[in-house]
Each structure stands twice: as C-alpha cells, then as structure tokens.
Structure 1
Amino acid sequence: MEERPLLLLDVDGVLNPLGRQVRGFRRYEVTVGGTVYTVFLHRDHGAKLLRLAEETGAALTWATTWEHLANEWIAPRIGLPSLPVVELAGAEPVADGMSAKTPHVAGFVKGRPFVWFDDALGPEDERYLENHPDVGEFLLIQVDHRHGLTDEHLDRARDWLSRFGPEKDDAIPGQ
C-alpha cells in the first residue's frame, strides 16, 4: 500500500501573517530561548487543516524553521495535535533564491505526493524538487506572507489531492 500524501505547513507567513495583524487573527507572545516573538494565529486554521487532511487522506506535517517548537507553541493555539516535523538542522541555502528548507523536504517526502504551503518558495525550489530522485508529484502553494493561509489555498490543495483518493480508515492527521 502506498503511503499517504503529505500536507507540509510553514508557520511564519502562512499561519502567522508577517508585518501586521490581520483581521480574525489573535496576537500571542511566545518566548523561545529567552527571546520574545509576537505571532498572529487564527483559531479556525486548525479545524480547516484537520478537515482537509481527513477529506484527502493526507498527513499534516510541519515544514518550518520552528521545527518541534511548532508542536509546543503553534499547534495548541490553533487546535492541531502534535505533528511530524521535517528536520531542518543545519539548513542553509543551496542556491541563490532557493529556500534552505527545500533539500530537507526532498529528503523527507520519500516519493510521497505532497502539497507545501509556504510563503518563500520560487522557481529554484520547484526545479530542485522536480529534479530530485526522491521526490514524486507535488504542488507548491505560494502564500502571501501579509495575509496568510486562505480558504482559496485550502481549496486548491483539496482539488489537487483529490486525485490520490482519501484513505478513510487511517486518515488521522500526522500519522
């Protein structure tokens, strides 16, 4: 049986719009390693992402520089369970304009189809993924960092993932 597709989630710029508070988002102060960060999160994102995962049979996974801290600081504030994490230790840009996360994502997916919600992906990332031997089908969804994740982004992911068919029996997010 083929493994389930993935829904890869960035935090900053996707779940946490950057630059200003967006209507419907709540402000939180998060302290990490003695540094205080301000994040703006929308409670509805968790329920919408869980519904998308259930409907499509996809596994929600963090692909963020927050790494495991996303499970501690972000997930509970938007109603998500603890999720698997794409490890980014030592992530550095590989080429001009390419995200430092892209090689780590390529190594993590192991041929599984995936949708990646991120605000900092471009043509270099797409080319790298298209040419990587461990990467199968994928859809990069560029999110405007000023507004964050929208229903249109979720609908686009749902439409794309619908061709893989949900596996209702094991459609538990993050598994």
Structure 2
Amino acid sequence: MVNTPRLPLLFLDIDGPLIPFGATPQQLPHGYPAYRSRHARPAAEANPLVTRINPAHGPRLMALPCELVWATTWMSDANECVSPWLGLPELPVVDWPETSESSDEDDRSGLHWKTRGLVDRAAGRPFAWVDDEITEADRRWVAAHHSGPALLHRVDARLGLTDGDFDVLGEWLRQRLEAPSSKGVSPASP
C-alpha cells in the first residue's frame, strides 16, 4: 500500500475574499453581472449577500490541489448558502473556540482572533489561509507556532479573490505537493 501525502488545507473566509465590499461593476469579471441578474433570485432569498459572490470561483477553488475548509463566521450557513451558489460540495467548517484568556493578549498584539484556531486545526499540516484581515502579527505568530509550511494570503476586500490571488494560491499549493516537508510561513502577500 502506498502512503500518499494529504493535501494541504485551504482555510477560506467569505466576507471580503468571496463577497467583495465596494467593487464597481467594471471591476467584476466579464459576464458576472449578467450571470448575477439571471440567476440571483433563489440565492438572494437564502442570503442577499451571496449574489455578490462570483460563481466562477467555485470551479477555480475546486481545481486547486488542496482540501477546502470554511474559516468564516458564517459557520454552517457557508454550506447552506455559499457552497450551492459556487457549485461546491459540503465543506468542513472550522468550529471556532470560545474566547479565552489569550484573546486579550491577542488583541493587544494585533493577532487576529482566527489565527490560533486555524493553527490548532491544521495540527502541523501545510495550510493556506485566505482572508482580508491578515496582518504581520498573524504571520509572525504562525511562523513561531506552526510546525508546517503556511501561506497567509491577504485579499483586497474591495475586489475579493482575483486572478492574481488564484495564481499565488495555485503556485504555493503545487509547491507543497512537490516538497511537502518544507517549513515556514511564506512571504507576505498583498
């Protein structure tokens, strides 16, 4: 029996990366506004924000060599509202811990409230985290506390995921499959 390495994790936030805040119609991908106007009604009834998500992201996310995991405050609503809109299967959801004594310390240091939970969930496994609120404090903390490679990729919340973001993620994830034992947090992304 061949022992195949597990795919890296991709922790995906919704608000900002998938639901852009403030993109103009000209900044949205070609054809997206027309798709949205033709197909938005059922999704809008579930949650009106879903219609701001580019449905073409679903196939692109599925094509990445990783295990997708929702890392969002949407919790189970991510699978009920967002996954169907994107054509994704039901995905695992990070179950956020209750606030702890370390949350006050994290607030003072600038550490994002998700960071500790994602490192715990990864348990040494390579992971990429896509969010619009990642800071240098998060990158330093992950580098010091995570035993595997990690990419903390900040997305511009005004635009959401772009072709450039997918390029960065795809390249980093493919490199993990080629050299799964390398350690460290990848250099800052925008």
Q: TM-score range by the shorter chain?
A: 0.7 to 0.9
TM-score normalised to the size of structure 2? Answer: 0.74
Q: 1:129 aligns with which of 135, 142, 155?
A: 142
Secondary structure at the counterpart of residue 49 of structure 2: strand
Secondary structure at the counterpart of residue 14 of structure 2: coil
Q: Deviations over 1:5-24 (max 9, x none)?
A: 11111000001002456532
Q: Deviations over 1:144-174 (max 9, x none)?
A: 00000011111111111222228xxxxxxxx
1:71 matched residue in structure 2: 79
Whose helix fraction is larger, Structure 1's or Structure 2's?
2
Please state how far the C-alpha of 1:111 moved relative to its aligned partner.
Answer: 0.7
State the identity as a percent.
38
Secondary structure at the counterpart of residue 103 of structure 1: helix
2:162 matched residue in structure 1: 150
Q: How does 1:71-90 map to 2 (within 5 A)?
A: 71-90=79-98
1:170 matched residue in structure 2: none
CA contact (8 A) 2:19 2:49 kept: no
1:173 matched residue in structure 2: none
Letter aligned with residue 14 of structure 2: V
Write the distance in 1 (CA, Å) between the matches of 2:79 and 2:124: 25
CA contact (8 A) 1:5 1:59 kept: yes
Is 1:101–2:114 an aligned residue pair? yes
Q: 1:9 aligns with which of 2, 8, 12?
A: 12
Secondary structure at the counterpart of residue 8 of structure 1: strand
Structure 1 residues 75-84 or 15-24, which shifts more? 15-24
5+ long unaligned stretches in structure 2: 179-190
Question: Aligned pair in 2 of structure 1 residues 161, 81: CA closer, same or farther (>3 Å)?
Answer: same
Question: Aligned pair in 2 of structure 1 residues 160, 123: CA closer, same or farther (>3 Å)?
Answer: same
Please state how far the C-alpha of 1:91 moved relative to its aligned partner.
Answer: 4.9
Secondary structure at the counterpart of residue 29 of structure 1: helix
Write the distance in 2 (CA, Å) between the matches of 1:135 and 1:122: 19
CA contact (8 A) 1:106 1:135 kept: no
2:123 matched residue in structure 1: 110
Letter aligned with residue 44 of structure 2: E
Aligned residues: 157
Write the distance in 1 (CA, Å) between the matches of 2:165 and 2:73: 21
Letter aligned with residue 143 of structure 2: E
CA RMSD in angstroms, aligned pairs only: 2.2
TM-score normalised to the size of structure 1? Answer: 0.80
Larger CA Rg, structure 1 vs 2:
2
5+ long unaligned stretches in structure 1: 167-175
